[in-house]
Structure 1
């Protein structure tokens, strides 16, 4: 991947970026905008606000409105089916040198013809690594750029509310702090490649069931503490160029017409200076959308057109939307560089393949390893069982990628095992035949997959699910194989949590997620111990379906009369399990290594926590120490979860080596949203500290007092 500095409006900085990318000098390359002597807004020495104002003054009313919608009727569901079909396109204004803007779907890779299929974003979340998120975003954007795109629709930072959500694989898990940090890093990585990121879907998008018409009732505290932090971080830390609003109504307002979010919170409070695009067909009313803070309608101007807007909304509203779009284009150098060519030869597929493999390794999560069954000790015979061994699964919808190439688990494991080992395969359709194959091998590895994606929620958490009839009884298959071979390993290729009723009957369980096009290679390296499994759970795995948040309460999910009450408040994900004292099968943050670690040396202050982690085993391994805080409650009206993630680090340690990790704490980390006061507030009292390898394994504990309280 060619590195590139973030696009700047200054000519000198821009010229250096173009040179790094192999583009001619700015004086030769500029030209899309025109001669500054004739078009003063083309002077790259001016700031983006100045340039936007100069250009805006020359636009006709119709031209301003034309910027407020994309023009490509093949956007949305049809986009991505061909090499040249962008998800969306705004044709610009050739008369004044306003270039077209091309857009692509991209939470898991570019959805335009073929591209590198990265591990699903849920696997990135399992990596607990902001540097990996920057690499992920950079890889996607680099390929998007060389498919001729200016904007990439990603990352998806919707916090997971129910594990039945069909788009679980596309997001970054159930914790707002984790999603915020990774999402902001993703944006940074993408925009360093000269492509505008579009973080989505503001403000609350929690299910596919009835998504187009869903009415969501969410309290202000829940909104601020759970669902908004990832978007806030994408704006304030990531500097995202665009934001995509989603579907449904939030407290009576359609998401793309909600001025309380788009105008008040996003722009006024957070200082967002980019432009807001709609999800496809999410606009219900032109006037409400324009006055509510939406700048551009996708996939075409069904509502945002001259008929619906001209003389029906104040001119300053139209001017504001056009200005937001133009200013963002100027700020990110879109006017001042040549159009990106749709040129597959410029994509370094070797670098992208390496990124896909290493990101998959970083997110693979070892959930169970009884008796040290893993890593494999070069067995002479292996039985690979289940259709997933011979496939590369992925979620469907706008985050689905058609890979350049694939390495299935069957291929990856066979190559790693070498010519001296016998690797047999059985698709698992006949449980008796699968058991016979397992019985003949030293080790049996069963592959279990789920099906999820956009448009539909999952019908259940069991691997044997009504929506997955083609996969058969996978739970029964695992049990049959485990009964035939005591050395059975299960590899879960799923987009999120599933039930594991057979966990006590197998030796090992690896959550490989949807591992992307190099998944088979990455999995083989993890299973054989060439690399330590680097993942930790970004979602909780329940023992039973009824244990999960919102389970058993139709008013909470999937809703009654298309209305959903978020009455669980801030008790989402592991907060729910902790508050109700429900023991999960595998808790948030959990993940094993092939070595062991010791935690010690806790030091606690109100501004930071430190601890020492030591590799006490005989192998180099990955540790992810995590900091959790238990905030005091200011009263019965503000219940607090027993613990909340407030810090994490990922460290690789050789045997006997230690690392001193530091978790900074600022005022926001100690705050709750005060609904009465309408702001963040630190409660008086004792703040409990826990540090360890997961939310349920915190060997180091401490406390500190704030606001005159005591511990």
Structure 2
């Protein structure tokens, strides 16, 4: 039974204590949290450091109690009960004898997966916002709801850098660029942990596909590891102070992810200074001694490898030392002390304390900021058409990914509801499910504007077989064909994509408008309608590249790279993933990384570049207020043929709202790391001699201003 579960919130307790001359026993217990009386339990003294408190507590624990701390021990979800959707994801019951409180955990990269919750737009939509403030709002919203569902820790954010757009969990991450992933992950974590909930950034160190994920061998050179896949985790630890770092599946260069001392010990702890604890993804632990010696602190979902029998046997056989077990327990206790878990009452499971209006507002803001206008031949914003034909099942749904990031929403506003409400009584809005192309074309033909909704299917456990809309969506039929037929019937056809990542758009030249709305969350219809009608400017820019053809995408056509041969994949592309791949190989994308249109236009001027900062002036040259997302890229010199550099790398971005004729001076701070590459021989970051090209523009393929730094020849 969870002690003190239904006690008042901390603020209410403070008020009571301030007015009561002699505290009751219950109030005294509340004042000292769940730990107890410091006179009897010295580790309960809040005036001591987490390290000191841990040092006092650890020797008081028995061998069995220590082992009990190293795994989730309640597969039935804790006091919320059973395998119901209302249960916690994981629970460690703590040690009541010593005042060690239970630890309750929830899935949460896209919202709390525990009963109903605010269904935020998919993290890929947040990434499209290019907005750290939105990331802080997102993390704070998730954590606030996790807290009021009685959780101490939330599994999120997911910062795995996208290697292949076929990845089934593309929607769950922040796209194909490590800098973007890092700079969104940090405020997400800070926003969440400011709510008093610990985060678990995932999945350390490399996790790029669902195919064979449990057993996949990944061969990655150190430069690629350091420059592409590790930066978001490094930033999460160094800049955000993430409480925990979750290890994932598969083998990195021969070592299982959850027992890889090279990553979890040498890099994470020794090099980055991480002092939190490392939980495993569910069932990712492979071997008792290997995990204990390799850096895993807590096994999830239960102690299959971390249990009393196997750990005591490993100690008896001298495969694991007692000091190693103590170190893992120390990491867990120190983190719980650091985040005040001992010093407060248990968070209540109380849905009435969740501010649903605030969650609704956050979901709408994030979606509006991430909706990306890919094409507009003058059809948008809508100018009060007399009739609108909505076509496609997604118009009545709110598509989402499946798996551990699946959220059951409190409420949902469909696109049909949102557009109908915004259009008003003077506009006739009709709906056709699109199953019959002829019927859909007829419906479109009779309307001023036709909006076709198309979606893909994405989620945990399975990769996409291909990048067409039909792959993985047989129940929706030939969506590409549907779009073409509707476009023939109505010259004012707009396509709204509800996808978790890049898809092929062979009909792009046939339609007047293309809007990428991602998996839009519970405020799908409200946000989309506001963007379509121009109440707000479309704020999104692509965090992923959309290819023209299937084989244009990274890792396409090379089975050794993806999906792998004999359950082994070689990252022979090195750092050339995402837009780097397209640039390095001279491949024209359909829509490039960073692309996204506004309802106004912008000009860039006054570029000034130094090694410490780049400054540029952005001016709204149109007639409407709009959102600009200037992006800074740097082209770095190759120190040798063995270290090829991509033509450009994202090193900064900003998001500014400007009225007609208004200008803003944008500054992108730079550090030596901005110009560094990983030198494998030196095992260190180095700045190469040579000429650095500084580029600023609206996307990776729309560079407006450039300058040179370093040793550059003048022509």
1:39 Cα deviation after fit: 0.2
Distance in 1, matches of 2:15 and 2:349, equals 14
Give the equivalent residue in structure 2 for 1:104.
Answer: 106
Give the equivalent residue in structure 2 for 1:532.
Answer: 537
Change (3 A) 1:293 1:138: same
SS of 2:589's equivalent in the other structure is: coil
The equivalent position to 2:345 in structure 1, one of 338, 341, 348, is 338
C-alpha contact (below 8 Å) 1:81/1:113 kept by paired residues:
no
SS of 1:197's equivalent in the other structure is: strand
SS of 1:492's equivalent in the other structure is: strand
The equivalent position to 1:58 in structure 2, one of 53, 57, 60, is 60
1:308 Cα deviation after fit: 1.3
Give the equivalent residue in structure 2 for 1:9.
Answer: none
C-alpha contact (below 8 Å) 2:227/2:677 kept by paired residues:
yes
Give the equivalent residue in structure 2 for 1:361.
Answer: 368
SS of 1:698's equivalent in the other structure is: strand
Give the equivalent residue in structure 2 for 1:224.
Answer: 226
C-alpha contact (below 8 Å) 1:79/1:112 kept by paired residues:
no
CA deviation map 1:634-674 (0-9, x unaligned): 00000000000000000001111100000111011100000
Give the equivalent residue in structure 2 for 1:616.
Answer: 621
In the TM superposition, what are the counterparts of 1:413-452 in structure 2 within 5 Å? 413-452=419-458
1:31 Cα deviation after fit: 3.6
Q: Does 1:328 align with 2:335?
A: yes
Distance in 1, matches of 2:77 and 2:298, equals 14
C-alpha contact (below 8 Å) 2:277/2:331 kept by paired residues:
yes
CA deviation map 1:3-57 (0-9, x unaligned): xxxxxxxxxxxxxx94399886696443410000000000000010000110001
TM superposition score normalised by structure 1: 0.95
Give the equivalent residue in structure 2 for 1:590.
Answer: 595
Change (3 A) 1:334 1:516: same
Change (3 A) 1:234 1:79: farther
C-alpha contact (below 8 Å) 1:607/1:666 kept by paired residues:
yes
1:83 Cα deviation after fit: 5.5
Distance in 2, matches of 1:559 and 1:658, equals 50
C-alpha contact (below 8 Å) 2:388/2:448 kept by paired residues:
yes
C-alpha contact (below 8 Å) 1:80/1:87 kept by paired residues:
no
The runs of 5 or more residues in structure 2 that have no matched partner are 1-8, 18-26
1:79 Cα deviation after fit: 9.8
Change (3 A) 1:21 1:226: farther
Change (3 A) 1:20 1:156: farther
The equivalent position to 2:380 in structure 1, one of 358, 374, 394, is 374
Change (3 A) 1:289 1:698: same
Change (3 A) 1:250 1:21: farther
C-alpha contact (below 8 Å) 1:33/1:98 kept by paired residues:
yes
Give the equivalent residue in structure 1 for 2:412.
Answer: 406
1:306 Cα deviation after fit: 1.5
In the TM superposition, what are the counterparts of 1:553-702 in structure 2 within 5 Å? 553-702=558-707
Distance in 1, matches of 2:16 and 2:608, equals 54
SS of 2:382's equivalent in the other structure is: coil
Give the equivalent residue in structure 1 for 2:403.
Answer: 397
Distance in 1, matches of 2:180 and 2:422, equals 34
Distance in 2, matches of 1:273 and 1:318, equals 16
C-alpha contact (below 8 Å) 2:152/2:347 kept by paired residues:
yes
SS of 1:278's equivalent in the other structure is: coil
Give the equivalent residue in structure 1 for 2:6.
Answer: none
C-alpha contact (below 8 Å) 2:76/2:83 kept by paired residues:
no
C-alpha contact (below 8 Å) 1:80/1:112 kept by paired residues:
no
CA deviation map 1:487-532 (0-9, x unaligned): 0000000000000000000000000000100011100000000000
How many residue pairs match? The answer is: 691
The runs of 5 or more residues in structure 1 that have no matched partner are 1-16
Give the equivalent residue in structure 2 for 1:167.
Answer: 169
SS of 2:693's equivalent in the other structure is: strand
C-alpha contact (below 8 Å) 1:23/1:29 kept by paired residues:
no
Change (3 A) 1:110 1:81: farther
1:74 Cα deviation after fit: 3.5
In the TM superposition, what are the counterparts of 1:171-570 in structure 2 within 5 Å? 171-310=173-312, 311=315, 312-370=319-377, 372-465=378-471, 467-570=472-575
TM superposition score normalised by structure 2: 0.95
